Amino acid sequence: MIGELNVTNPTEIPDFVPDNVQLEEFIDNMNMAPGEAESLRSITRLLVGGALVGWDELFAHLRSWEDEINASRSQEADVINAPPQDPAAALRYAMIGLLFESQDRLVKRSKQALNLFWRATETFWSPVINRAGATRQLDPARSRYDELVRRGETLTGRWVDRGQNEEARSRQLARTAAQQSFDTSMDKLGQAPALEQLIRDQSVGLTQTALDEARARTVGGDMVAENFARSILRRVPRRQLNEPLPSEGSDSESADTG
Amino acid sequence: MTESLKGYYAGFISRLLAFSVDIIILVVVLIFGGWLLNTVTTFFSLGIIDSISPVLQVLISTIVALLFSAGYYIFFWTLVGQTPGKLLLGLRVVSRSGRPITFWQALRRYVGYYLSALALYTGFLWVLIDNRRQGWHDKLANTFVVYEWQARPGAFLANRMKEQQEQDLSSNE
C-alpha cells in the first residue's frame, strides 16, 4: 500500500490513512515530522469532536427549551392569539410567518422532488441498463464497472470503520479539552487578585447583612419577651427604653471601681 | 423608636443567646481539652488518671472546668469588654461610666452568675423586669450590658411600637 502512495506534495494530507500503514512509514513518505502530523490529526479530531459534542448539546438544550416554552405557551394562548393592532407589527409577523412557511415548504418540496427524480430515473434508465446488461459487447466495461463498485464499497467500508473509531476518539478529546479549559480558566480566575478581593468583600458584606438581620430579630425578641413578662406580672408595658449610658471615654468615672 | 439603639441596655433574649454561645464554646473546649489530656496520658502510659479515684477525678474535673470558665469570662470581660458570644450578638459589658469593667467587677459578676442561677435562675430573669435590664449579677458588680452595634428592631415590631406610642399619645390628650 505504501508503494501505491505517490505523494508529490508533502503538505497535502490524503483524506484517510489506511489502517495497515504504520504512522512512521506514512510520515516518512509525507516528509513531515511525527509530532507535526499527530498534532494536525489531533486538531482535526478536536474540530470534529467539538462540532459533534456542540451539536448534541445545542440540540438537547433546544429541545428542553422548546418543551419549556410549549408548557408555558398553553397558559398564554389567549394573549398570543390576539390579532395585532399595529400595521408594522402585522408586517413583522407576516415576514416571520413567511420565513417559517418557506422553510417547511422547502423541506416538503425537496422530499417530493427527490422522490420524483428517483421515479423518473427508474422509469427512464431501468430499461436502458437492463438492455445493456444483456449485451455481451459491454462485458469488459461491465466487469470494469463492477470492479470499480467493489473498490468503492471497500473504500467506503474502510471510511465507515475509521469514522466510527475517530468519532468516539474525537468526542472524548473534545470533552477532555472542554473540561480542562474550564478547569484552567477557573484556576486563573481564582488566582486573579481583583476577583479574590471582590468575592471576599461580597462574602463579608453578605455575612454582615445576615448577622445584622439575626441581631435585629433578637432586639425585637428582647422587647417582646420583656412585655410578655411584664404582662404576666401585671406591670405596665415598657414603651420607651431608659436613657443609655455615657459612651466610652466620657469624663464621668465609674461609681464602682472595685 | 426606629433610630439606633446603640448604647442602650440590651434585653433578655439577646443576652440569653450570647450566653448560650459562650456555654457552647466552653463545653466544646473543655471536652476537647479533656480528650486531649486523656489521649496524651494514655499515649505516654503515664497512668496518672487511672491512679486517681473516680470521685477525685470528678472533683478535679469540676474545679478545672470552673477555673477555666472563670478565666474565660474574666479575661474577655476585662480585656475585650465582650465574650465571643456577646461579640456575635453585638453586646458589651460596661461599667456605669461606659468604660470596660475592672478585674474585681468581672470576678464579682462571675460569682453573681452562680447566685443568679441558685435562686432558680431568678437572677437572670430579673433582666426582663428591671428598668436598666440588669440581672442580679449585674447589680452585684454594678455592670451593664449594652448594644454595641447600631441596633434596630425589625420593621414589623418598629411599626407596632410606633402605633402603640401614637395610641398612648392620643389617649393622654
What pTM was computed for the model? 0.52
User: Is residue B2 one of the residues assigned to a domain?
Assistant: no
pLDDT recorded at residue A25: 62
User: Is residue B6 one of the residues assigned to a domain?
Assistant: no
The C-alpha cell at B6 is: 446603640
Interchain pair A248, B104: CB under 8 A? no
pLDDT recorded at residue A153: 92
ipTM: 0.80
Is the Cβ of A215 closer than 8 Å to some Cβ of chain B? yes
pLDDT recorded at residue B171: 72
Interchain pair B157, A245: CB under 8 A? no
User: Is residue B5 one of the residues assigned to a domain?
Assistant: no
pLDDT recorded at residue B149: 85
Contacts of A230 in chain B (CB under 8 A): 128-129
d(CA B5, CA B22): 23
* 3-state SS assignment for residue A63: helix
CB atoms within 10 A of CB B167: 11
Tally of domains in chain B = 1
Interchain pair B14, A256: CB under 8 A? no
- Nearest CB to A221: which of B13, B102, B152? B13
From the number of C-beta atoms within 10 Å of its C-beta (0-12, 13-18, 19+), residue B106 rates as buried
Q: Which residue has 411584664 as its cell numbers?
A: A230
The b/e string for A8-22 (b: 16+ C-beta within 10 A; e otherwise) is: eeeeebeeebeeeee
Contacts 24+ apart (CB under 8 A), B49-57: none
d(CA B14, CA B24): 16
Give the A window 105-164 contacts with B, CB below 8 Å: none
User: Is residue B80 one of the residues assigned to a domain?
Assistant: yes
The C-alpha cell at A240 is: 420607651
Is the Cβ of B5 closer than 8 Å to some Cβ of chain A? yes
Is the Cβ of B99 closer than 8 Å to some Cβ of chain A? yes
Is the Cβ of B108 closer than 8 Å to some Cβ of chain A? yes
- Nearest CB to A219: which of B5, B98, B105? B5
User: Is residue B4 one of the residues assigned to a domain?
Assistant: no
B102 versus A69: which is more confidently predicted? B102
Spell out the per-residue pLDDT of chain A, length 258, in tens.
Answer: 333 444 444 444 455 555 555 555 655 666 666 677 788 888 888 899 999 999 999 999 999 998 888 887 766 665 566 777 888 888 898 999 999 999 899 998 888 888 888 888 888 877 877 777 778 778 888 888 889 999 999 999 999 998 999 999 999 999 999 899 999 888 888 788 888 888 878 888 888 888 888 888 888 888 889 888 988 888 877 767 777 777 655 444 333 332
Helix-then-strand count for chain A, H and E: 6, 0
Domain range enclosing B69:
12-172
pLDDT above 90 (res B82)? yes
Interchain pair A222, B132: CB under 8 A? no
pLDDT recorded at residue B40: 81
Mean pLDDT across B95-116: 93
CB atoms within 10 A of CB B150: 13
Interchain pair A220, B154: CB under 8 A? yes
Alpha carbon of A255: minimum distance to chain B alpha carbons (Å): 7
Is the Cβ of B135 closer than 8 Å to some Cβ of chain A? no
Q: What is the mean pLDDT of chain B?
A: 87
Is the Cβ of A256 closer than 8 Å to some Cβ of chain B? yes
